[in-house]
Amino acid sequence: MNGLITDLYQLTMANALFHCGMHERQVVFDRFYRTNPFDGGYTIVAGLAHLQDFIEHFRYDKEDISYLQSLHIFYPEFLAYLEKFSFKGNIYAMPEGTVAFPGEPLLRFHGTVMEAMLLETGVSMILNHESLIATKARRIRTVAPKDVLMEFGLRRAQGHSAGLWGARAAMVGGFNGTSNVEAGKKFGIPVLGTMAHSWIMSFDSEIEAFREYVRQYHDNLILLADTYDVLESGVPHAIEIFTKLKKEGKLPKKYGIRIDSGDLVYLSKESKRLFTEAGFPEAIISGSNDLDEYAIASLKMQGCTVTSWGIGTKAITADGTPALGGVFKMAAKEENGTFRPVMKISNDIKKMTNPGIKTVYRFCRKDTGKLITDLICLASEKAATGEDFTLTTETADWRKKELKAGTYEVKELLKPVIIEGKKVPLPNLSEITTYSDQQMNMLWQEYTRLFKPHKVEINLSDALQQLKKELIHQELTKNHK
């Protein structure tokens, strides 16, 4: 049961609407964000599996009801309603692994206003957190496209759930595996890792520790080389171990060392030289120690020979952006059996929302598969089918982009996740990672660079732009009478 995973004001608003008899009114909400994290050019959608799990178990048990009753602010009839509550609505969302941009709906929620209020906080918490971690992971993957990336962040995660679901989100973002055993079991993620400094220090000498490890874990020979001295002790002892195994015909396909401290550029270069001179050019050099996309990019520019990275704190905590500012806003509400579009109007233009029941279409070049733009439009509009098509910039309607027939492809991005309260099967994690790789391949390099990336311009359809202008005019006229 997780019905109490919400903010108090959600419950008090729901309680009041219930008392007014307005709680069953049908509404549509959009979930979107306003700014890319890490000053980047994109965000990776993640969290839908967790979202399904959260909504499936969103209930109020007797202890929950007893606690709410003890606050003395809720009507007894409302608490009786909560005892029987479960979500019966529909949710559509961009698939996990999708590259997304500010302002466009990542998720569309259809349900009662009661359902929206009770679920908003948990839904936002899940998608904000996991999309943030997936985006951080994908940024790291862009600077190490062919290397092994290992998520090692559990002990530095901000709580159990953040460590567990954060490990899965890192996989959505392109990592190869995790040290988190629970995540390995729950999500089928490859679990990776060998030894810590405590293993080496449990023995009287480093070479003894290496030998014993070889006896017990022969097929996983990444030896931790920096407990005492990487070049004077760790690497020579590793070479001694590998030489013996080679003579015996027992050298595994994957073997090498991990360096967890010191100058990774110098130490990795020298380690590679020593291994090559000793006849082990294929020895893996693995590196760890507070790494992120900026550190790895810099290390590679300096000739670092590490090809396997253990990344902990800065990935699992999304270092650089503490939270993804996703919001959940009403876009339409039921009136007399039909939906009326609504929008938030603000003096701060960035806080204004797009009205109506909407969807998102992605336009890509037919010859290269590269992204042209995303188009937010009303769900009732006819989709482009490959004919001549014109895109108009909302803030500068003289700027138009003409797409010639046959030169582009279009795909709708919002897919069903929950229908009538029931989960829709999602792709498995391997399929999601492959899909996310494909999504990243759509982006031009200018959008993926770490510093001052080019920003993707998202378009609104002409019909949506017109609706928005009409609602603004109506609201201003009404409020100035």
Helices 235-247 and 264-277: crossing angle in degrees, nearest 10, is 30
**Could you tell me which residues come within 8 angstroms of residue 262 by beta carbon, excluding any fewer than 6 positions away?**
226, 230
Task: Kindly state whether residues 468 and 325 are assigned to the same domain.
Answer: yes
Task: Kindly state whether residues 174 and 289 are assigned to the same domain.
Answer: yes
The answer to whether residue 2 is domain-embedded is no
Query: What is the number of structural domains in the chain?
Result: 2
Which of 95, 85, 94 lies closest to 116 in space, CA to CA?
85
Task: Kindly state whether residues 417 and 359 are assigned to the same domain.
Answer: yes
Q: Which domain holds residue 279?
A: 135-316
Planar angle of CA 65, 66, 72, nearest 5 degrees: 95
Higher local confidence (pLDDT), 399 or 240: 240
- Considering 316, 334, 351, which residue would you say is the last residue of a domain? 316
- CATH assignment of the domain containing 399: 3.20.140.10
The pLDDT assigned to 350 comes to 81
The pLDDT assigned to 395 comes to 79
* pLDDT tens readout for residues 201-253: 999 999 999 999 999 998 889 999 999 999 999 999 999 999 999 999 999 99
Residue 2: exposure state from Cβ atoms within 10 A (0-12, 13-18, ≥19): middle
* pLDDT tens readout for residues 293-346: 999 999 999 999 999 999 999 999 999 999 998 999 999 999 988 999 999 887
Instruction: Provide mean pLDDT across the span 61-85.
Output: 97
Task: Kindly state whether residues 172 and 112 are assigned to the same domain.
Answer: no
Is residue 481's pLDDT more than 70?
no
Task: Kindly state whether residues 451 and 353 are assigned to the same domain.
Answer: yes
The answer to whether residue 1 is domain-embedded is no
Task: Kindly state whether residues 219 and 140 are assigned to the same domain.
Answer: yes
Task: Kindly state whether residues 388 and 473 are assigned to the same domain.
Answer: yes
- Considering 316, 347, 369, which residue would you say is the last residue of a domain? 316
Instruction: Provide mean pLDDT across the span 18-25.
Output: 96
* pLDDT tens readout for residues 111-127: 999 999 999 999 999 99
The pLDDT assigned to 480 comes to 63
Task: Kindly state whether residues 108 and 176 are assigned to the same domain.
Answer: no
- CATH assignment of the domain containing 154: 3.20.20.70
Task: Kindly state whether residues 242 and 273 are assigned to the same domain.
Answer: yes
The answer to whether residue 3 is domain-embedded is no
pTM of the model as a whole: 0.95
Q: State the Cα–Cα distance between residues 158 and 322, nearest whole angstrom.
A: 11
The answer to whether residue 443 is domain-embedded is yes
Task: Kindly state whether residues 325 and 224 are assigned to the same domain.
Answer: no
**Which amino acid is residue 169, in one-letter code?**
A
Q: What are phi and psi of 300, to 5 degrees?
A: -65, -40
* pLDDT tens readout for residues 114-162: 999 999 999 999 999 999 999 999 999 999 999 999 999 999 999 999 9
**Could you tell me which residues come within 8 angstroms of residue 11 by beta carbon, excluding any fewer than 6 positions away?**
68, 74, 117, 118
Task: Kindly state whether residues 153 and 209 are assigned to the same domain.
Answer: yes
Which of 344, 356, 376, 369 lies closest to 457 in space, CA to CA?
376
Q: Given its phi and psi angles, is residue 202 left (phi above 0), alpha (psi -120 to 50 degrees) or beta?
A: alpha
Instruction: Provide mean pLDDT across the span 359-366.
Output: 96
Is residue 3's pLDDT more than 90?
yes
**What is the DSSP secondary structure assignment for residue 219, as one 8-state letter?**
T
Task: Kindly state whether residues 151 and 274 are assigned to the same domain.
Answer: yes
CA distance to 209, 244, 285, per residue, from 254 (Å): 19, 15, 11
